[in-house]
Chains A and B, each alone.
Chain A
Amino acid sequence: MRLVLRGITKRFGSVVANDSISLTVEPGEIHCLLGENGAGKSTLMNVLYGLYKADEGEIELDGVVQHFSGPGDAMAAGIGMVHQHFMLIPVFTVAENVMLGNESTGFAGSLDVQAARARVTEISDRFGFHVKPDAVVEDLPVGVQQRVEIIKALSRDAELLVFDEPTAVLTPQETDELMDIMRQLREAGKAIVFITHKLREVREVADRITVVRHGRIVGEADPKASNAELASMMVGRPVELVVHKEEPTLGADALVVKDLRVVDAAGVTQVDGISFTIRAGEVLAVAGVQGNGQTELTEALLGLQDDVSGSIVLDGVELVGRSTRRILDSGVGFIPEDRQVDGLVPNFTIAENLMLNRSFKSPFVRNGSLRIGALREFAQKKLQEYDVRARDIDSLAGNLSGGNQQKVVVARELSRDLRLLVAAQPTRGVDVGSIEFIHKQIVATRDSGIPVLVVSTELDEVVALADRIMVLYRGQVVGIVPADTPRETLGLMMTGERPDDVKDVVA
């Protein structure tokens, strides 16, 4: 199916999210929409899918102009969408999810579950998905859930498939598998729109690349273009893709973790006897597929987990058993993995968010009352220092873009006297410009002699920041290896295997 978008414009109030976008997608091609978070890619696709109504412009499928009043119409016309946040009902089975909205029924509207099961099995077998129709979706790993989304689209005979940031939640292995699936779908003659901001993936599968910036199309790129060329088109200026950092100046052992064990509320051992040391002025980066104990490790360091045994010693002081507030007061800075949930109060202003970790003492509080003046002055300074793009310090944190929200978190955590920085997924969902900035801040922190623990599921980020890399698998350390360890080896270690030639390094 051939898709033509002509002059699509979509405004939200005074913000123009899509500015007269025109685009053609041919059958049997993977057309990549490349752009930063907030460039308007998802908005465009929501217009295509009937979720938003365009203010101007038209959608044409195989030469026929379409008027979608809702996703139902778009689906009927042959458009399938794999959403970034899966549109699956967690407590339903795969078959129920696939048939929802498209049910074949028998007597008195009774469901023909048998038919739905057969359809799932048929599509799953055709593309080698290994999805069982009776599995409950919430029990499935993320990668498999995504395949359920694909099956959902295919079961409605979609000819045009839109993948919206599909790799954001996937492990490297699952990403490779998805790329294979996309190629298979292309061979089957489907038209594919692939929305992403990850350059590596684009170059791997795209037949054509359209770059979007600030709601406008800035041009087509050659799939053979280099990463640097793609990145500068996407951001609109030359971008440094490499984090520049000097050799570390190592000090004494600062953080010493021994036999750390964390059991979660459900009784599952999530961190299973981890020991490591970080020296002053060193970045230890934790690599691993999401859900292998990273979250629990960082939360245990901050005193946020209940069932912790072993020892965490920072500069000679035991932290296990201390309250979170005392740990913060002893100089631990924490960039949590989900800024929306743990990092910020969205309904507070930037200024208020900047004082959250010092909400009970000077310089912002005296005799139990807020010192508004001091706070405003501080916030004003940080806004400039950390290049937070906001109207003013009274803007609500929830209204900022992901990158600016994260800069507020980083500004708050780094503007104290730190003895340890714990950064979990510091650049998840953040634009390239902000990534550069945050990485520089982390390196500067390390260069000032502070030990840093970085946790990231992006191997690129781990490799870029690390002085040493610790690979976690099922709550255990597979190895602590040098930063220049080859990616293949790291990828293998992330699956729990440990090649013979890998040697642990001690800083």
Chain B
Amino acid sequence: MSTATDQPTPESGGLAPDTVVVPTKRSGSRKLPIILGVLAVGLAIVLLTAGRSGDTTFRLATDTDFAGLPDIVVPSAATAWLMIVVCLALTAEAVRRMLAHVAQPMWIPVGFAAAWMVGFLSWAAADGRILVVSLLGGAIALAVPLVFGALGGVLGERAGVVNIAIDGQLLLGAFAAAITASLTGSPWAGLVAAGLAGALVALVLGLFAITYFVDQVIVGVVLNVLVVGLTNFMFRQVLTPNAASLNSPDRFPRVPIPVLGEIPLVGPIFFRQTAVVYVLYVIVALVAWALYRTRWGLRVRAVGEHPKAADTVGIKVNRTRYRTILLAGAIAGLGGAYFSLVSVAGFNREMTGGAGYIALAAVIFGKWDPIRATLAALLFGFASNLQGVLSVLGSPVPSQFMLMLPYVITIFAVAGLVGRSRPPAADGVPYKQQ
């Protein structure tokens, strides 16, 4: 506009843009081969410095399978070394792909992890027996509340509300479940109450975070502390004096599913669980489907990515966020019931043991995706269970060391070692309408 000359710009050749600069990206990550190499060499060093002899027994079957699987007995040292060779081969493949600038497929880290774990176990359990079913089944048992919590986290963050209050939702859920189930005599009523309690915590979170624009991380942390204080107080003042009437719920019984539960290996791990776990299976599937395949899910994701854009197409941003965060809180709350109605019968102080924070880690490790977050929670559950199994076996690895594992994995994940993690663009940003 700063010139008087007013000639038209040259004719353009059609509408297809041909002036776009397309960046060429480097593919083939350097991180993966480095991590794999370090892990493989690390295991080899452990074997060299603390070698163990004898045989390791992997027991796959339980007594009620319809077809028995034999125990697998392997020589400890030889198996461990064989697995190291497998690990090194996979590392070499990762290096080859890195040099050729080819993408790293999923089977490399997955195969590596499996081989590494078999090698590690056959070393750690030399002259002992690994009950594979209880190792994996126990992992699921420990992972259940984490999965509930992680789903609650994924849903909230996908809608743009950081749900730090997962731990509070789990804890209040456990508390409400114990009381309600004790009073009514029905664990199912307890489960419903747990969901409502989780939603209540979410409602408070929403009120501050969505309506009053308070920093969501701060509100979430404060809520967690508040719930700890509240339940501790109630536990001492109300539950302990009236333990018989208020804190002695019936537990959910184990309900094996006919046929499915009798499949060797798979059955006892997945289908000889309590009803709460089956409810979880359904919820995971529902959330994963609904988030990507339904109108509801599309709108939730839109609100978490670009709320203003959602607003301009007539979506009520804050109403959508409230609904989603309430649902997220309810799901996390259900996980609370697992503590007080499945793991043990009854509520105890701070009985979640910070599971909500590990669930939060699973959300990030799972890249804000319900299925990946579920898998991440299962991995964390496995790490926790492994620690228990190893200490029973009397393995040379200190159990505290294993307990660190979920957190170490999380730090690596958050640092971006497991591919780029991109949260929803408007995650944690309140939406103000003009």
Contacts and interface: CB of A to CB of B under 8 A. Distances in A.
Partners in one complex: yes
Interface in B7-36: 7-12, 15-21, 23-26
Number of contact residues on A: which range applies? 35 or more
A87 B312 contact: yes
A112 B354 CA distance: 41
Contact of B15 (A128, A200, A289, A486): A128
Contact of B312 (A49, A130, A175, A460): A49
Contacts of A143: 17
B63 to A, nearest CB: 42
A496 B2 CA distance: 25
B251 interface: no
Given A70-B314, A72-B314, A129-B15, A110 B6 contact: no
A171 B10 contact: no
Contacts of A292: 21
A101 B315 contact: yes
A99 B299 CA distance: 10
B20 A87 contact: no
A488 interface: yes
Nearest to B18: A495
B296 interface: yes
Given A71-B313, A130-B16, A266-B25, A111 B6 contact: no
Contacts of B12: 173-174, 176-177
B15 A487 contact: no
A55 to B, nearest CB: 13
Interface in A195-240: 197-200, 203-204, 227-228, 231
Given A51-B312, A83-B312, A100-B315, A173 B1 contact: no
B10 A435 contact: no
Contacts of B298: 96, 99-100, 103, 111
B312 A71 contact: yes
A355 interface: no
Contact of A268 (B5, B24, B294): B24
B23 A266 contact: yes
Contact of B308 (A73, A87, A461): A87
A229 to B, nearest CB: 12
B294 A105 contact: yes
B425 interface: yes
A154 interface: no
Range class of the B interface residue count: 35 or more
B7 to A, nearest CB: 5
A267 B26 contact: yes
Contact of A111 (B3, B16, B17, B295): B295
A130 B7 CA distance: 28
A81 interface: yes
Contacts of A427: 2
Contact of B434 (A52, A152, A267, A291): A52
Given A75-B313, A96-B298, A101-B314, A144 B2 contact: no
A48 B122 CA distance: 72
A473 B26 CA distance: 22
Contact of B9 (A101, A108, A172, A203): A172
A81 B16 CA distance: 23
B310 to A, nearest CB: 7
B4 interface: yes
Contacts of B16: 130
Interface string A259-280: 0000000111000000000000
A386 interface: no
A80 to B, nearest CB: 10
Contacts of A488: 7, 9-10
Contact of B305 (A83, A92, A128, A492): A92
A89 interface: yes
Nearest to B27: A267
B1 A101 contact: no
Contacts of A173: 9-10, 12, 17, 19
Given A109-B296, A488-B10, A89 B302 contact: yes
A96 B311 CA distance: 15
A477 interface: no
Contacts of A199: 1
Contacts of A111: 293-295, 298
B306 interface: yes
B41 interface: no
B117 interface: no
A464 interface: yes
B17 A144 contact: yes
Closest 9 CB pairs of A and B: A72-B314, A101-B313, A173-B12, A87-B309, A172-B9, A268-B23, A491-B10, A464-B2, A103-B295
19 contacts: A72-B313, A81-B312, A88-B309, A89-B305, A91-B425, A100-B302, A100-B313, A101-B299, A101-B310, A109-B296, A110-B293, A111-B294, A143-B17, A174-B17, A243-B3, A268-B25, A289-B19, A436-B2, A461-B2
Given A52-B434, A198-B1, A488-B10, 11 more contacts: A51-B434, A91-B425, A101-B315, A103-B295, A109-B290, A111-B295, A292-B21, A460-B2, A463-B5, A487-B8, A491-B10
